[in-house]
Structure 1
Amino acid sequence: MIGLSGCVSTGANVTGNEVGVTVNNVWNRNIAFPKADEHCRKFGKVAKPTNSDGEYAFSFECVKPDS
């Protein structure tokens, strides 16, 4: 039996701008969040999850970090 523990999601698609970002082609929000946060940090912001998720797609707002 082949386990999936060694699989890494390398096919994530990240699209967005300084306001928000969507990460799709990932299994869950835990995989999507670091990719979204990396995108938002390019604009001096951090990723904040939204409630608008689709199948294998997760949306985030890019917001100013708390001081």
Structure 2
Amino acid sequence: MPDIRVKSEIAGSVWKVLKQPGEAVAAEEDVLLLESMKMEIPVPAPRAGTVLELLVVEGEAVAEGDVVAVIRAA
């Protein structure tokens, strides 16, 4: 099964990283939180698996559609 690219659905900045590479993640579990217009926006994993790579760090700005993490599906 191919790796899953987790994308930001909104422009904002990475407020908090919740999962690190090597950690398991459930389907719809939040991988990180974005801050946009003073709101916290969760970025969930679309499927269960293991976080392979985080492509952003806390405080970094992201655009809508940016890939923020890669997950290997379970």
More strand by share: 2
Between Structure 1 and Structure 2, the one with more helix by share is 1
Q: TM-score, normalised by structure 1?
A: 0.35
Q: TM-score, normalised to structure 2's length?
A: 0.33
